[in-house]
Chains A and B, each alone.
Chain A
């Protein structure tokens, strides 16, 4: 296609003719533009922007699915939420999950990427292996993890017993259930982060390492501290925020493995929202929970935008 463009470019007659033609039909083109964006615009209103406005509006009503009518009740849903212990447990669990999975998945992703990039052998093989969990259907793999964590016949307890350690009911114990879900979350996310870090590492010019070495940065650690880490800054911010947003959305593993139990120890925001909205059909209250979730996710996105802007200024 660039061939076509380059052959067309130098022909002096072709350009004025085409621009004249283009000038003659701007109105026609304008109409065509609306025809082209029309379906996307309508669907965007119907499936995205309308529902977004809808969920905020719903959060101020007492609407329940199937109810003949509803009333505006102001902040009652939010007041009920703040007074509800389950909401606070669910919010705390979500934040705990985020606080464990983000450093775990980002740190391991960075570590694996650095190790892969530090040598030449088997790069493709390692990248494929670590990326595999990102591809595999999480629900199917969650069920495999459940069996691996089985109190009696699971691999994890089998290995523990073989080295003389006591077995444990990982998903059935309220002290370890959330932690087990975090491990699954890290296992699934680290390959994705690894690939982002690898892309960042490849883009660092080799001349900078040479310059650092000339300036006396002889050890691998000082090269990392002086060149790699500062230049990976923007990528790292990005990876942290992406992992944070994805961790806030945790639902699949919770719903299929623990249903928020035992005794609410793994209940998370989206799971609470799902139960209220689609099991008990309290749409208004579930909408209020959604708004809280949305505030957290959008706040993270804003942090990312702010940090990205500052990175541009300092560099």
Chain B
């Protein structure tokens, strides 16, 4: 009885260390919110305090939205990430089905190429892909942001592995019902693969929402800016003089994904780690 009431020293130590670490990890987020809520007089003072004396979050947000078209940039982020994911699925699912369930000449070679493709880091192909887009006059557009990522060899690999586990009888039954091979992909395989598709979708959306390298290379016009490019541009334009609205803008940019993550943590962690193993 007494031992159950007595606090366990190991458990206390565990919490103490983990809480300290958590505080360090959270500090940038806390400081971002704190700074976004302070008026300039409190930001540019050597007196460090967390809670603003005068709460100025709304003013800073208003200024951020007035100086940068944040609504448009968030919309761009949505358009680009959703387009990429939908096209990735349209292209990867049929290929994954054929690789997993159909026999055709060149299947092994194709699968070997897919495996090889997974090893190629995106930065390695940047120059030729840029030159290609330049050649066809597609730079500085949504197409430039989306087109290079429509092929996801990792997506093909992941779905293929998943489809391998689907019983052949299910497919044969669908064929007997007169469903075409193309129909089987969408009406039989896709519904069975929803967990894998969700995981891949989370991975894809997070990666492309946060991507900075590629939009930086192919874009000139602000009208196509994605959120990371927009916040970097905001920072350069204000040249470090206007931290309140800048932190408010950063807060706006990270909020959609962070909220989605907090609502569906397990799925996000699963999706990013399980698919992030490329």
Judge if A140 is at the interface, Cβ distance under 8 Å. Answer: yes
Residues of A within 8 A of B51 (CB): none
A55 touches B127 (CB 8 A): yes
Residues of A within 8 A of B181 (CB): 29, 32-33, 35-36
A298 touches B22 (CB 8 A): no
Judge if B79 is at the interface, Cβ distance under 8 Å. Answer: no
Min C-beta distance of B88 to chain A, whole Å: 10
Q: List residues 115-144 of chain A with CB under 8 A from any CB of chain B.
A: 115-116, 118-119, 121-122, 124, 126-141, 143-144
B169 touches A9 (CB 8 A): yes
**CB-CB nearest in chain B for A25:** B175
Judge if B4 is at the interface, Cβ distance under 8 Å. Answer: no
A115 touches B91 (CB 8 A): no
| Chain A residues within CB distance 8 Å of chain B | 1-2, 4-5, 8-9, 14-15, 17-19, 21-22, 26, 29-30, 32-37, 39-41, 43-44, 46-52, 54-55, 58, 65, 108, 112, 115-116, 118-119, 121-122, 124, 126-141, 143-148, 150, 152-153, 155, 158-159, 161-162, 187, 190-192, 195-196, 199, 238, 242, 245, 249, 251-252, 255-256, 270, 273-274, 277-278, 283, 286-287, 290, 293-294, 297-298, 301
| Chain B residues within CB distance 8 Å of chain A | 10-11, 14-15, 17-18, 21-22, 25-29, 31-32, 35, 43-48, 90-92, 94-95, 97-99, 102-105, 107, 110, 113-114, 116-117, 119-121, 123-132, 134, 147-148, 150-151, 153, 156, 166-167, 169-170, 172-173, 175-176, 180-182, 185, 191-192, 206, 209-210, 212-213, 216-217, 227-229, 231-232, 235, 240, 243, 246-247, 249-251, 253-254, 257-258, 261-262, 265, 268-269, 272-273, 276-277
**Could you show 24 A-B contacts with beta carbons less than 8 Å apart?**
A2-B167, A8-B173, A14-B169, A15-B172, A18-B169, A22-B172, A29-B181, A36-B182, A47-B147, A47-B148, A54-B127, A58-B127, A65-B134, A127-B265, A135-B254, A140-B227, A140-B228, A141-B250, A153-B44, A158-B47, A256-B232, A290-B126, A293-B124, A297-B119
List 6 A-B pairs, minimum CB-CB distance, nearest first.
Answer: A158-B48, A54-B128, A40-B95, A51-B128, A51-B125, A18-B172
